[in-house]
Chain A
Amino acid sequence: METIEELKEKTEEEVEETPAADFFMGIVLMILSTVVCSVAWSWPRQGGFASSAALFPFGIASTLFLMGMAIFIQSFRRKGYRLFLQWFRAKPFRDGWVHGNLRLAVASLLTVLIYMIVILNLLPFEVGTFIYLVGTLFLFWRGKVYKILIISAAVVAFYSLSFKMLFKLVLPGVGM
């Protein structure tokens, strides 16, 4: 029943209050919608504003501004700004790194970024994906080296053969 309890906790977590995130998001949304509104206002308006290209984005952005303001005010009442500032203090960061999932989060983010931005821009798909898989499986799974090598090689061979031959797809990477 341990897993069920975990999932229940996860479901409850989904509805938890997030004042710090709301504070941040409120500001982001207000800035974003202001920019969208001002850009949309500058577009040509054939046949008047009501049927122009700007109408829809302008309407969406202006209501988004109101929503952003609403969550900003709500978070402000719940001391969201203070909690937001705490994000930048060393202690919660250190706690998250040592006891929480922060280390895993950073590792997964870096893995994805390195694969997508660096590896696929420098190496052919097969070579790049093999290197990525070996590195990632070693980092996250920590299985035996020979198993990691076999799995990585098998996955690359499967992807390359099935997508290139069966689906006739061009795979990403250098020399595609």
Chain B
Amino acid sequence: MDAIWVAIGDLFTVRMMIIAVSASVLGMIWGAMPGVSTVMAMALLVGLTAQLSTYEAVMVLLTVMVSSVYGGSITAVLINIPGKATAIPTAIEGYPLTLKGEGGLALGTTIIGSFIGNWIGIIALILCMPLIMAIALKFGSWEIFLLAFWGIVICGTLVGKEKPIKGWISGWLGLLIATVGVEPIHGVPRFTFDIPALIDGIGELPIIIGLFGLTEVLKSLSSPGVKVEIKKVSSIIPRFSLLRKQFGTIMRAGFIGLIIGALPAAGPNIASFLSYIYAKQRAKGEEREKFGKGSYTGLMAAEVADNACIGGDMLPTLTLGIPGSAAMAILLGSLNLHGIRVGPAMETHHPGLIYFFYGALIAANFLMYGVALMIIKPGVKLFTMKKEILMPIILPLCAIGAFGINQSIFDLYVMLAMGLLGWALYKMRYPLAPMILGVILGPMADENLRKAIMIFQGQEATLLTVLSRPIGTVMLVVVAFTFYKGLTRKA
């Protein structure tokens, strides 16, 4: 109980609140700007969070994430340019409403949808965490290895779309990158080529910034811009009366968001589309006719699912140390910088941190709500800043982030190399999320696999003994099934 009060006390300091409000405003503006994804926004900030305390870093990243997830909906409704792919259903339904002069109400609906979606995620997180942590405590090295491995395989399978093999290749490349440096068990240097900077391995931060920051800059600058036409918006009215009318839609969308979010890297893209399509299929008569021409039900379904995903994402991340999405991988990277290892033993090693996570998420949700109401109308001009101006400005930020922690020019070059690699892989239609998961989970998978083998060798275990471990065997079946489903998926 003391830990809860300490966490609340840490949350409500003046400095923390200033940081949180700034992060929320920043996250919303970045989220609204087309081309700056949530992941990119977080990647750019990781370097800076290293200068903050652990709690402040968590607060900044969570607030930026919550606000930028919503931010994408603003430009989708107002100018028909989704800030990110998750907001495409929002644009499909929101922009026609703006054309009808109901833009304010549409924005109000997206705010309510996001707010409720976040709450669904937070409540599910608080309720499910202890249960999953209790199960996770029974995991040995073998099970942890299988879990990390499955995280990369399922991520590759899901984001690889019709070509899961491309997702797996991306993940495997990440795993290989993670093996660089002196390994922790026998102290053997691996792929260091006598370069002193490689002895400690390649830092996660320049890789994250390179893959999600620099790649995005290169992607955006090398494609032509879109002309923007700003429509007039009526006052933004979030109507809570919608909750009663849309209760069923909200619950279904929340459930879809949670489940999809909990799957490694399935993420909000799938959740918002799936929820929107499901709501459309369920709609009848007049309501169905409205879909595509401005439906509040469609808008609500997409927004709730998109935001409920955050809580779902955090479940495997905090309980098992397996990131639910690329954004969560970045959060883990930031925690690693602070020496925090999440997982079932987190409460023992870092008492109170878990409660701080809950509190920070709740605070981030309220801030998102308030900041959205305050800055949407005055911020429209800023949200529509041309990417030809925005992207050149972001490149020095990438350089500062990658260089800042170790003040190493080598890190700068790693970031550059990763950005170029990410761009090349993007051009060849390889997803990048599995690679970052590979980089983050690689050391965990490597160490636990070898520990497990050493334990099995010490026990002179046979294959039957290994298979008699129920959790491990179930996980082995799950890994094999995921591979099978990926291999048999029709292109």
Contacts and interface: CB of A to CB of B under 8 A. Distances in A.
Given A11-B85, A140-B388, A167-B51, A50 B453 contact: yes
Given A60-B176, A107-B221, A159-B400, A133 B450 contact: no
Contacts, number: 190
Interface of A: 1-4, 6-8, 11, 14-16, 18, 21-22, 24-25, 29, 36, 39-40, 43-44, 46-48, 50-53, 55-57, 60-61, 63-64, 67-68, 70-71, 101, 104-105, 107-109, 111-113, 115-117, 120-121, 125, 129, 132-133, 136-137, 140-141, 143, 151, 155, 159, 163, 167-172, 176
B70 interface: no
B48 to A, nearest CB: 6
Given A43-B188, A71-B165, A112 B400 contact: no
A141 B223 CA distance: 13
Given A4-B92, A44-B188, A63-B172, A15 B457 contact: no
Interface stretch (B7-15, B242-250, B401-409): B401-409
A9 to B, nearest CB: 12
A133 B429 contact: no
Contacts of B446: 56
A15 B400 contact: no
A108 B221 contact: yes
Interface size class of B (residues with CB under 8 A): 35 or more
B186 interface: yes
Given A120-B399, A140-B388, A163-B400, A52 B186 contact: yes
B396 A67 contact: no
Contacts of A3: 80-82, 91, 226
Given A101-B223, A167-B51, A67 B168 contact: yes
14 contacts: A1-B95, A3-B80, A6-B226, A7-B82, A24-B428, A52-B188, A56-B449, A64-B169, A115-B395, A115-B396, A141-B389, A155-B396, A172-B403, A172-B412
B392 A4 contact: no
A44 to B, nearest CB: 6
Q: What are the 10 tightest A-B residue pairs by CB atom distance, in nearest-first order?
A: A108-B221, A53-B188, A21-B428, A105-B222, A136-B392, A56-B446, A172-B403, A141-B388, A140-B388, A53-B183
B289 interface: no
Interface in B18-71: 48, 51
Contact of B169 (A67, A140, A167): A67
Nearest to A64: B172
B218 to A, nearest CB: 5
Given A3-B81, A111-B392, A140-B392, A172 B165 contact: no
A18 B428 contact: yes
B217 A112 contact: yes
A111 B183 contact: no
Nearest to A172: B403
Contact of B162 (A15, A132, A159, A168): A15
B175 A112 contact: no
Most chain B CB inside 10 Å of its own CB: which residue of A36, A39, A56, A169: A56
Interface in B402-438: 403-404, 407, 409, 412-413, 416, 419-420, 427-430
B151 to A, nearest CB: 15
Interface string B172-190: 1101100100010110101
Contacts of A121: 409
A120 B188 CA distance: 34
B256 interface: no
Contact of B224 (A36, A104, A107): A104
A152 B164 CA distance: 43
Interface string B436-453: 000000000110011001
Contact of A169 (B48, B82, B162, B183): B48
A31 to B, nearest CB: 13
A151 B385 CA distance: 12
Contacts of A57: 176, 179, 190-191
B224 A60 contact: no
B252 interface: no
B416 A112 contact: yes
